[in-house]
Amino acid sequence: MDHIPPKNQLPEDWREIHATWQGGNSFDGLTSKGNLISMGSISEPGASPMELLLISLAGCTGMDVIDILNKKRKNIDRFEITVRGMRRFENPRIYTIIQVYYELWSKDLDRPALEQAIQLSEEKYCSVSAMLGSVAGITSSYTIHLPDSTGEESTPQAEKPLSK
């Protein structure tokens, strides 16, 4: 294995984390910013490493989509993302199918703006999507909730699968 240079000598495009065994199948991961993430197998506390991949995908695409919608001056009141993954049976148990579901609440969000934001995230900006998409089929769908005339939440304005 190549020698790993000290943290202060890493090139700018490198990232480094540190994981410490906590006993059993549990590890605590420490990010370069000092954030602690607990990991464990199914019977241990913490998120599994494979769940963290799905969480990473949700965070990555979510940050892209909200940034793009903010640049389009769309007012988002609430934004949730659900990601599901199906793993193959044989080892290594990689994801083969991943489904991303975006759910947004807004007074002025339209389908074309959201579809463009999702497409840009998935095809251009989200590094996690690019990595996972190289081994798994990723599909996306969304729902936009608009308030009715009284300000209460109405039926979804759009619920649509996106095809790549």
Q: What is the pLDDT of residues 70-85, one digit of tens each?
A: 999 999 999 999 999 9
43 against 106, higher pLDDT: 106
Note every long-range contact of 79-87, with CB atoms under 8 Å and residues 24 or more positions apart, other chains counting: 79/103, 79/104, 79/105, 80/104, 82/58, 83/54, 83/55, 83/57, 83/58, 84/54, 85/50, 85/53, 85/54, 85/136, 87/50
Q: What is the pLDDT of residues 122-141, one digit of tens each?
A: 999 999 999 999 999 999 99
Burial of 150 (0-12, 13-18, 19+ CB in 10 A): exposed
φ and ψ at residue 4, rounded to 5 degrees = -90, 120
Q: Which of 12-21, 83-92, 118-127, 141-150 shows the lowest per-residue confidence on average (mean pLDDT)?
A: 141-150
Q: What does the pLDDT average to over 37-41?
A: 95
162 against 107, higher pLDDT: 107
Greatest mean pLDDT range, 3-7, 11-15, 43-47, 113-117: 113-117
pLDDT at 152: 62
Q: What is the pLDDT of residues 2-24, one digit of tens each?
A: 666 666 666 777 889 999 999 99
* CB 100, CB 61: distance < 8 Å: yes
Query: The whole model's pTM is what?
Result: 0.86
